Homo-oligomer: A and B are copies of this chain.
Amino acid sequence: MGANMARRLKDCGYTIGAVYDVRSDVATALATELGSTAASSLAAVTAGADIILTVVTDDAAMDAIFARKGDSLLKGATGRVFINCATVSPAIHVEVAKRASKAGAAALEASMASSITQARNGTLYLMVGGDESVFGQVKDVLSKLSDDGKLLRYVGTSGKAAQLKALVNMVMNINTAGLAEGLALADAVGLDLSMVREVFSQTGANSRVLATDGEDMQNRDHSCFFSAAHAAKDSGIALELGLKAKLNLPMAATAFAQFTRMTQLGLGELDKSGIAELTFKGRAPKPKKPTKAKKAKAPAKAAPAKRAKK
């Protein structure tokens, strides 16, 4: 995602001051492509740019790149604006914003509700959280990534965008898990699934995930765009928010349990459409029966991703 955002901004005339990746060969290749520099440290990234976009895997990585001590993006960060695009917890965004402020810098979150192609084309759906005046400062850059700002939304203070992103994925996961049950039952009673999907698309059963995942569920094509493990993680973030708010969210809890079960069965790296492997008759991987002598858990094999993703 980060590389494609850099490519897009280069196309739009911005100078890419520095690029950084924990895999230094990847960073070097990208720097060469973009006429940029592969920074040798986090501090060197900050030294080389006014606006720093980050995309990391999880809270721990966010904590690490914005470390209080040692090599850190916060070194010499006075006047810099950090835009953090990864889907991480609301709490870490709030924490990073505090640390940035102490370092004389500012941090925004720009949660993405789109994928790699949209990053390359500058048509990401971006939800921004943080100080609104800081948002104003970097709005031009963000607009270049979000269809000239048509897909850019200021959501609220720090943490709010991450909350909203978790909510988007929570609802998406519920719809996905529900669709997998509908198609599984249709299959079990002998209905033609292509016809069923067409009927769903014309009725109250229609949803975005029907369009993105319905055919893949039918064809068992689970090459990964958004993994079941990620789905479980995001539903977990949302459920934690729900717990704090003392809300009863049985649908979210059930979807979370389903995606968690996928990871437990060794299916966590399948696309979220792989949830259909749990619901269709005859598909669910059966954990091997432990013998009397040896009761260790036998993780089931992942279902094969049968075809290349279109």
Q: Among the interface residues A177, A192, A204, A279, which one has the most CB atoms of the partner chain B within 10 A?
A: A204
- A113 and B181 contact, Cβ closer than 8 Å, known pairs A163-B189, A189-B241: no
Q: Count of chain A residues with Cβ under 8 Å from any Cβ of B?
A: 64
Find the B residue at minimum CB distance from A159: B189
Q: In the complex, A66 Cα to B302 Cα: how many Å? A: 51
A22 sits at the interface (CB 8 A): no
A212 sits at the interface (CB 8 A): yes
A281 in contact with B246 (CB, 8 Å):
yes
Find the B residue at minimum CB distance from A205: B171
A308 sits at the interface (CB 8 A): no
- A163 and B191 contact, Cβ closer than 8 Å, known pairs A175-B205, A199-B168, A204-B208: yes
- A185 and B242 contact, Cβ closer than 8 Å, known pairs A169-B204, A175-B174, A204-B172: yes
Give, as a whole number of angstroms, the nearest-CB distance from A47 to chain B.
Answer: 35
**Cβ contacts A157-199/B at 8 Å (1 or 0 each):** 0001001100111111011011101101110111110011011
Which of B127, B206, B249, B257 contacts A199 (CB under 8 A)?
A: B127
B249 in contact with A185 (CB, 8 Å):
yes
Q: Which residues of B contact A208 (CB under 8 A)?
A: 203-207
A202 sits at the interface (CB 8 A): yes
B247 in contact with A205 (CB, 8 Å):
no
A206 in contact with B204 (CB, 8 Å):
no
Q: In the complex, A167 Cα to B182 Cα: how many Å? A: 6
B203 in contact with A113 (CB, 8 Å):
yes
A254 sits at the interface (CB 8 A): yes
A238 sits at the interface (CB 8 A): yes
Q: Which residues of B contact A139 (CB under 8 A)?
A: none
A232 sits at the interface (CB 8 A): no
A151 sits at the interface (CB 8 A): yes
Which of B168, B186, B198, B212 contacts A200 (CB under 8 A)?
A: B168
Q: Which residues of B contact A238 (CB under 8 A)?
A: 185
Which of B177, B203, B252 contacts A125 (CB under 8 A)?
A: B203
Q: In the complex, A203 Cα to B250 Cα: how many Å? A: 22
A205 in contact with B249 (CB, 8 Å):
no
Give, as a whole number of angstroms, the nearest-CB distance from A95 to chain B.
Answer: 17
Q: Which residues of B contact A195 (CB under 8 A)?
A: 153, 155
A156 sits at the interface (CB 8 A): yes
- A185 and B247 contact, Cβ closer than 8 Å, known pairs A204-B208, A212-B204: yes
B153 in contact with A251 (CB, 8 Å):
no
